[in-house]
Amino acid sequence: MLDLKANPFFLDDKMEKWVYDTLAGMSTEEKIGQMFCPVGGNTEEGFLKEFLEEYKPGAIMYRPMPAAEIQKTHRFLQEHSRIPMLFGANLESGGNGICSDGTYFARPMGAAATDDPVQAYRLGAIAGKEAMAVGCNWAFAPICDLDLNFRNPITNVRTFGSDQKRVTTFVREQLKGLSDQGVAAAVKHFPGDGVDERDQHLVASVNSLSVEDYDKTYGAIWQEVVDAGALSVMVGHILQPAYSKYINPELKDEEILPATLSKEILQGLLRGKLGFNGMITTDATPMVGFNTSMKRSQAIPAALAAGCDMILFNKDIREDYRFVQEAIADGRLSMERVDEAVTRILAMKAAMDLPGKKERGTLVPGEEALSVVACGEHRAWARECADKSVTLVKDTQNLLPISPDTYKRIRLYLLEDRLEGGFKDGDGAIGLVKEKLEKEGFEVTLFDYSRPDFHEMFEGGVEDIQSKFDLAVYVACLDTASNQSVRRIDWLHLMAADAPWFLNEVPAMFISIANPYHLLDAPMFRTFINGYTPTEEVVDQVIDKIVGRSAFQGVNPVDPFCGVWGAEF
């Protein structure tokens, strides 16, 4: 029995009546539309009006675009939708999750490296304030995953680290920051990513912890999330075999399904054991991890039947909409389950006061609200977070601080993505490093990947290297991105020509402004720095610290040595 007056909705009589009156006045087609959150792309008003009339979606998500443009689009959609809409965004790292010109505050692991929960609150507050300025009211954040496997290519800096207590504290603060700005959270990725070393965008991954170990780690975090009143939870395409069989001992191994399709995980664990009463959304259904479990015509209605209330994204919305219609017609999806799902969606909207805001005309603010996007205060907070987060992992050669007096000539190696792909939080600032080092008085030459020096590779030796530079600085920006199976150093395939074979003759340091685990592939570096977030603010703080203008303050939210013997030397 649904209780709309209980956590997390806490509806009064008036709002509860709105939910049930609205439900009673909806056609089956409107109810189906309410359970979809397609991804937006086209912002042309004629297209949007036709789309709303045909599908009547309950939510929509746009990828980041200029604040003025996305605000205009959100306003048009709200004005032309009978039922107020949820507008989602990946507000994981700041307002840049919805506004391409918004504040890129910090990756969650960067906030965690400060060991200051205030930074997690600010992460939520900045993201929430800038999102609300453009009418975005639903955050696909915080991320509750534990980064227990350093090989996982998608959790990584998107998490608050591997320590359950720190993750719990920082998730709670980010939730509060979002809530204080009026933004609802879709906390993710239930039941928990980061145990497997694979990306659930590419395969249904596995949380292989025992029931006991799960309860002490992920379960403890999720209980905090439920108790804190999160309105929605995003469920991943992640299997949890131990709990699936604990809930249903008759279940065969080959019958275990990803959480998005699993009654055991959705009803038994999330709704039952953890007591979650809010709205459940799938993670993106175009992911391979969702589509390979069964035919899509079966999977879309099966996710709803299992307990998901909303379908996130589509391959072809016409097909997906039809799949739900067909499942209702042949009894695979009951109208009772549809009504329950839609009731929770409407209750979430009521708890966010979206009906009241629609009446008052305040669902999307005026253009004057855009002044908060990337405002001075938010940029100052981003600089403070960067200052506190940059972490000196090791300097066993006592190289730091450096100056032009001791190491005038620098050879700079930029290790970055050389292929397009994946959705990143923003462009990396790695290209600014050369200019900033030169401003400090260093003579900087850039290793040229487009024109390899064959003499240096095949004929030059120690004296050749020593004649060219006094210090090698490696800066890596291999940022977490979806749909990639690894995030590791890939030395130049020709003779590993960019690898530091010479570091016993010419000193070298390694700076990562993204992935914190590069000591796995480069344990030979005796000076290693982690920055976690590829922004200009982080690059500025790294430069300040290596030249001795400020002290390193960051802590390690994970084991940067990856358990590799000798990596700490």
Residue 372 falls inside a structural domain: no
Which CATH number characterizes residue 80's domain?
Answer: 3.20.20.300
Angle formed by the axes of helices 335-351 and 296-306, nearest 10° = 60
Q: Are residues 240 and 120 in the same domain?
A: yes
CA 20, 134, 376, 549 dihedral sign is positive
Q: Are residues 189 and 268 in the same domain?
A: yes
Q: Are residues 422 and 315 in the same domain?
A: no
Classify residue 380 as left (phi > 0), alpha (psi -120 to 50) or beta. alpha
Task: State the total domains in the chain.
Answer: 2
Residue 556 falls inside a structural domain: no
Q: Are residues 417 and 274 in the same domain?
A: no
Q: What is the pLDDT of residue 207?
A: 98
Q: What is the pLDDT of residue 452?
A: 84
Residue 552 falls inside a structural domain: no
Q: Which of 305, 339, 360 is the last residue of a domain?
A: 360
Task: Tell me the three state secondary structure of residue 283.
Answer: strand
Q: Are residues 350 and 481 in the same domain?
A: no
Q: Are residues 324 and 424 in the same domain?
A: no
Q: Is the peptide bond before 189 cis (omega within 30 degrees of 0)?
A: yes
User: Catalytic residue among 283, 387, 425, 479, which?
Assistant: 283
Q: Which of 360, 378, 412 is the last residue of a domain?
A: 360
Q: Are residues 93 and 52 in the same domain?
A: yes
Amino acid at 378: H
Q: Are residues 324 and 404 in the same domain?
A: no
Residue 532 falls inside a structural domain: yes
Q: Are residues 146 and 67 in the same domain?
A: yes
Q: What is the pLDDT of residue 418?
A: 62
Q: What is the pLDDT of residue 426?
A: 65
Q: What is the pLDDT of residue 191?
A: 98
Q: Are residues 353 and 428 in the same domain?
A: no
As to burial, measured by CB atoms within 10 angstroms (0-12 exposed, 13-18 middle, 19+ buried), residue 343 is: buried
CB 444 within 8 A of CB 458: no
Q: Residue 462 is part of which domain span?
A: 390-546
Q: Which of 321, 339, 360 is the last residue of a domain?
A: 360
Amino acid at 92: E
Residue 557 falls inside a structural domain: no
Rounded-to-integer distance, Cα 163 and Cα 217, Å: 9
Q: Are residues 353 and 401 in the same domain?
A: no
Q: Of 348, 181, 356, which Cα lies nearest the Cα of 277? A: 348
pLDDT means per 10 residues, the chain with 569 residues, are: 94 98 98 97 96 97 97 98 98 98 98 98 98 98 98 97 98 98 98 96 97 98 98 98 98 97 98 98 97 97 98 96 98 98 98 98 98 98 98 98 98 83 69 96 96 90 96 95 90 93 97 98 98 97 98 98 96
Rounded-to-integer distance, Cα 261 and Cα 282, Å: 9
Residue 464 annotated among the catalytic residues of the structure = no
Which CATH number characterizes residue 404's domain?
Answer: 3.40.50.1700
Residue 367 falls inside a structural domain: no
Q: Are residues 167 and 103 in the same domain?
A: yes
What's the predicted TM-score (pTM) here?
A: 0.96
Rounded-to-integer distance, Cα 411 and Cα 413, Å: 7
Residue 410 falls inside a structural domain: yes
Residue 94 falls inside a structural domain: yes
